[in-house]
Amino acid sequence: MRSDKESRWDPIFLSSNPEGGYLPAGPARVALEATGVKKKQLKKIWNLADIDRDGRLDAEEFAVAMHLCEVVKEGGEVPEGLEEGMVPEGKR
């Protein structure tokens, strides 16, 4: 079951035209850049959020990326790694 925090990003994920349940790098980048987070930070966020390292984001990974963008926008830093609770259950 997905958390409310994850599902709140679903409208953005879906409006970015996922293909087969995944956002390819290009459309995902556009959505992440729209947050206003600096590109250097977005690169770190991508590296953390693309948990299975397949070059695309599923809805859970996208939620992780958007959450990290939100943390940065609120004055926080991109973490060095994901806390266990941040890793979607299906990706552990």
* Contact by Cβ (8 Å): 19, 55: no
Q: What is the pTM of this model?
A: 0.91
Q: Give residues with Cβ within 8 angstroms of 50, minimum separation 6.
A: 56, 57, 61
Q: Please state the φ and ψ torsions of residue 22, each to the nearest 5 degrees.
A: -130, 145
pLDDT in tens, the chain (92 residues): 356 656 889 999 999 999 999 999 999 999 999 999 999 999 999 999 999 999 999 999 999 999 999 999 999 999 999 988 888 888 88
Structural domains counted in the chain: 1
Q: Quote the pLDDT of residue 64.
A: 95
What is the CATH number for 53?
1.10.238.10
Phi, psi angles (nearest 5°) of residue 31: -65, -40
pLDDT score recorded for residue 6: 61
3-state secondary structure (DSSP) of residue 15: helix
Residue 25: domain span: 4-77
Sign of CA dihedral 65, 68, 74, 80: negative
Structural domain includes residue 84: no
